[in-house]
Amino acid sequence: MENRVFQTEVKQLLHMMIHSIYSNKEIFLRELIANAADAIDKARFESLTNPEFSQDWEIRISPDKTAGTLTISDNGIGMTKDEIIKNLGTIAHSGTKAFMEAMQNAKEGQSSPELIGQFGVGFYSAFMVADKVTVESCKAGGKEAVRWESSGEESFSIAEGTRTSQGTSITLHLKDDAKEYLENWQISTIVKKYSDFIEHPVKMLQTVKDKDGKDIMEDKVLNSRTAIWLRPQSEVKDEEYTSFYNHLTGHYDEPIARINYSAEGATEFKALLYIPSQCPFDFHFPGRKSTDLQLYIRRVFISDDCKGLVPNYLRFVAGVVDSSDLPLNISRETLQDNPMIGKINKAVTKRILTELDNLLKNKREEYTEFFKNFGPQLKEGTHEDYANAEKLRNLLLFETLNKPAAEYSTLKEYVAAMPADQKEIYYMTGDSREYMEASPHIESFKKAGYDVLMMHEPIDEWVVQAIPEYEGKKLVSVAKAKISADSAAMKELNEKAEKAAQEQGGKDLISKIKEVLADKVKDVRFSGAMTESVSRLSGEENDPSPHMQRIMKALNQPVMEVKRILELNPSHPLISGLTKLVEKDPANPKVSEYAELLYDQALLAEGSPLPDPAKFAKRAASLMAESIEKEI
């Protein structure tokens, strides 16, 4: 027998395992089962060329209450003497350092001791529950068995072993406060929780009654081994897929799409993804985990809240990603920054967007339902994901002026239906479709027959910024002062406006109103934008929309106040009357009152708040009183 001293980092790690109190010690079993499964995977691979390595692969858990020991054994690849010295004592694995740093922080109160469950701490986690660990191993194809033993503090001993068959047995001499891990139900629960989808059977002998009622010992497989995402699709029933989705998410809708994805080559992983049809009731709750996507590494459960697996805007996607490349000892804390996760993210995103595109093309009704629930998320994507900007644009649906509410068009469909003389894509943003339809901004478009995208979700203001043009056509707000008026109807309206601006009466009216509203608007003009309304407020090309300004205010964001342009409808009887009034007596105090009212009306019509509602009410009331007096 020989004694060896642990390498310094291993020593530090062991010290922590032994002396600290961590709440979820149970993860030691997950780690040992994962190691056993890895060892079997390696042996199975070798057996392709060395059939004599072949076995009925199994991982066995044997609790011994009398001896107070728990043994985890496998018939995998095993270790030679040199390997066991190297692997279990002299080389600290890669996760060690990250784990220890995190633990150090935990001590300073920055992080919770729960943290241990987030790390692959490996073999050494056995020392959380055992005061002595004995490892017996026999390398596949080798003849000599080796025995490793340690109580964790300083050193380990190496001796000849007694094991005669290939594989490794790890015996934990459980501490007094860890004897619960000898209970069958406890072991079964932990295996189910962490290692249910491990491909190889995790077996345990259990006492059962035979048909005569006598106690007999029987092998029981503790894990279901049904890694549904690894089974051939043809063998899995639709109900099974759906019930797995229910199990993952706790939601009972029927997903509108399922993606079975197997990536091979530089990045290897399998994914089973679901696109929900309904928005989960807790989707917008602040405390909700970032996704319903679980990360596995070679069937070992790693995380159910792995942020980087999909971009934030696809957080509604549920499912499992099982990576073959990531190391099990990866720090769960830094997962998001791992380049491999980045690669998975890229591939998965592409696949999901393709699926959504298929749905849009082939199952329009279902897609529309989906879009009603998750449209705002896809819209976020147009802002966040430049790499997929093109695809995302094509996935958006919009209500339009010429179609009833809740009937949607894609940008492609909108453009395809544009009359030949229409050069730009017109949109309007606002709080509700109802208000928008009644808005003065939309009148000339109705007359011209041009369709307008009706955007009434707060995020739409960001969408139009992210999509300056589509298929070479600029997106232009109907509330902008200058839009290319190419239709005959619009041309006619504009000509009228120009004519009014040339006439002396018109000129006088404009300069009078400008004078009155000097501190409220930057310009007053006649405009061909309206057919029924008397006035509206418009902006220059790059001015923020009033809707955007209201959102920013609601979000407590700084708002840049930009003066607007007051546009008057020259065909409206009120404007022709006013022109005459100014002609007669430019100093008439009524003109100022009317000017103020025109401004306030324009604000009201677009849903903007009035700066002084009381004053507006008084003005309107006194004008009504005058008009009534004339009637009686």
Residues that bind ligand ADP (CB under 6 A): 35-36, 39, 74, 76-79, 87-88, 93, 120, 122-124, 168, 328-329
Encoded tokens for 570: 């020259």
Residue with Cβ nearer ligand ADP (191 or 396): 191
Three-state helix/strand/coil letters over 502-571: HCHHHHHHHHHHHHHCCCCEEEEEECCCCCCCCEEEEECCCCCCHHHHHHHHHCCCCCCCCCEEEEECCC
Provide, rounded to whole angstroms, the least separation between the CB of residue 41 and ligand ADP: 10
Tell me how crowded residue 22 is: count the other CB atoms within 10 A of its CB. 20
Contact 175, 129 (CB under 8 A): yes
Q: Which neighbouring-strand residues pair with 230?
A: none
Provide, rounded to whole angstroms, the least separation between the CB of residue 121 and ligand ADP: 8
Provide, rounded to whole angstroms, the least separation between the CB of residue 71 and ligand ADP: 12
Encoded tokens for 219: 């092998």
Residue with Cβ nearer ligand ADP (77 or 344): 77
Provide, rounded to whole angstroms, the least separation between the CB of residue 167 and ligand ADP: 7
Residue with Cβ nearer ligand ADP (103 or 442): 103
Q: What is the DSSP secondary-structure string of 220-272?
A: EE-S----TTTS-GGGS-HHHHHHHHHHHHS--S--SEEEEEEE-SSS-EEEE
Specify the amino acid at residue 384. Answer: E
Q: Which neighbouring-strand residues pair with 221?
A: 203
Provide, rounded to whole angstroms, the least separation between the CB of residue 264 and ligand ADP: 24
Token match 């150090």: residue?
104
Residue with Cβ nearer ligand ADP (327 or 505): 327
Provide, rounded to whole angstroms, the least separation between the CB of residue 96 and ligand ADP: 8
What interhelical angle do 504-516 and 573-584 show, nearest 10? 90
Nearest residue to 222 via CA among 203, 205, 236, 207: 203
Residue with Cβ nearer ligand ADP (7 or 336): 7
Question: Which residues fall within 8 angstroms of residue 354, CB to CB, at 6 or more apart?
Answer: 391
Residue with Cβ nearer ligand ADP (297 or 568): 297
CA 289/CA 291 separation, integer angstroms: 6
Residue with Cβ nearer ligand ADP (82 or 585): 82
Residue in the shown chain whose Cβ atom is closest to ligand ADP = 122
Provide, rounded to whole angstroms, the least separation between the CB of residue 78 and ligand ADP: 6
Provide, rounded to whole angstroms, the least separation between the CB of residue 369 and ligand ADP: 45
Residue with Cβ nearer ligand ADP (329 or 345): 329
